[in-house]
Amino acid sequence: MNRSEQVAVITGAASGIGSGLARAALARGMRVVLADIDEAALQTFAATLDGPVSSCTVDVRDPASVEALADHAYAAFGQVDLLFNNAGVLIGGKSWDIPADKWAWQLQVNVLGVVHGIASFVPRMIAAGRPARVINTGSMASFIAAPYMGPYSASKFAVLAISETLALELQGEQAPVSVSVLCPGPVQTDIFRETVTMQDDTTSDRTVGMMRDITVNQGITPDELAARAFAGIDEGQFWIIPQPDPLDTLYRQRAEAMLERRNPGIAMPG
Ligand SMILES: NC(=O)c1ccc[n+]([C@@H]2O[C@H](COP(=O)([O-])OP(=O)(O)OC[C@H]3O[C@@H](n4cnc5c(N)ncnc54)[C@H](O)[C@@H]3O)[C@@H](O)[C@H]2O)c1
């Protein structure tokens, strides 16, 4: 299909990785639906873009809101070829310190947001009877359970499971709809804007701060991430792992630890 005919819907589009995906999609001649909960940021970002763009405020936690996004996208452009279930949030802290409502928030956005995207778009993609792809943003946290990232890792492991399941189900249906799971390492975004503040213990604060510093100082840019993501999409990859070095090493270590029944320990790339 000519890319200029394609339509991409991107959640979490007002910031970070979503904004990079939007710029990359437009640069490829696609039409783009920008969706985000932050209406002001969405409008500000949309104003920086040049091309066929339609914006829609959405809260991916709410199935009705995501259904309205699907209605909006099909009304605006008549089709959807790429759905990026990308909106995500992160709060660091010890598993037992993170308040229940913050656990719930991360699981609602990161897990149910993806589930709602699938529910509202996949039946329409199947009915359209033409090639389409769902790209769910996982993370290196889909493979590695890092300390002080309990809800986030739980959510991203779930995104991986949901993506694999969906791919198998669509194959079973012989549907023309494909699936990718996009698992970035550090990318320079504001994702670490909120963490749980510890009163009397700085271990988790230090660790989460270190992860934030790695993200900001050593991460690739959202535009570079988007270029690698689209390269994976072009190749029809399910596993889009944009920073294989050094993350493949960590994933291999984890797989070997499981197979050798080794107890969890903090592994660094080596
Ligand atoms: N930055 C990284 O290093 C990194 C690494 C791996 C994976 N990721 C994942 O990439 C995705 C994008 O994150 P980012 O780093 O660009 O962060 P970001 O904070 O810059 O962007 C996330 C966007 O999601 C939006 N959002 C939050 N809650 C929402 C909701 N309920 N409904 C709709 N939109 C909502 C925010 O307003 C924001 O614009 C997330 O799924 C994140 O987990 C990020």
Dist. CA 157 → ligand 1 center (Å): 16
Rounded Cα gap, residues 177 and 235, in angstroms:
15
Per-residue pLDDT, 233: 98
The residue whose two tokens read 């490829």 is 28
Residue 251 within a domain: no
Residue 52 within a domain: yes
Per-residue pLDDT, 2: 54
Could you tell me the residue range of the domain that residue 195 belongs to? Answer: 3-245
Q: Which residues contact 100 (CB under 8 A, 6 or more apart)?
A: none
Pick from 34, 62, 189, 195 the residue to mutate for probing ligand 1's pocket: most ligand atoms within 8 Å of its CB. 189
Residue 254 within a domain: no
Residue 32's identity, in one-letter code, is V
Residue 161 within a domain: yes
Q: Which residues contact 19 (CB under 8 A, 6 or more apart)?
A: 13, 45, 222
Is residue 212 classed as helix, strand or coil in its secondary structure? helix
Rounded Cα gap, residues 243 and 251, in angstroms:
12
Is residue 243 classed as helix, strand or coil in its secondary structure? coil
Residue 185: phi and psi, rounded to 5, are -85, -150
Residue 253 within a domain: no
Residue 104 within a domain: yes
Q: Is 62 in the pocket of ligand 1 (CB under 6 A)?
A: no
Full DSSP string of 80-144: -SEEEE-------B-TTTS-HHHHHHHHIIIIIHHHHHHHHHHHHHHHHTS-EEEEEE--GGGT-
CATH code where residue 186 lies: 3.40.50.720
Q: Is 226 in the pocket of ligand 1 (CB under 6 A)?
A: no
Number of Cβ within a 10 Å radius of residue 217:
9
Dist. CA 66 → ligand 1 center (Å): 16
- Local structure of residue 198 (DSSP, 8 states): P
The string of pLDDT tens digits covering residues 5-46 is 899 999 999 999 999 999 999 999 999 999 999 999 999 999
Q: Which residues contact 165 (CB under 8 A, 6 or more apart)?
A: none
Residue 127 within a domain: yes
Per-residue pLDDT, 14: 98
CB 114 within 8 A of CB 162: yes
Per-residue pLDDT, 195: 62
Beta bridge partners of 53: 32
Q: Which residues of the chain have pLDDT under 70?
A: 1-4, 195-202, 266-270
Dist. CA 19 → ligand 1 center (Å): 10
Rounded Cα gap, residues 1 and 102, in angstroms:
42
Per-residue pLDDT, 125: 98
Instruction: Look at the chain and report how many structural domains it folds into.
Output: 1
Residue 159 within a domain: yes
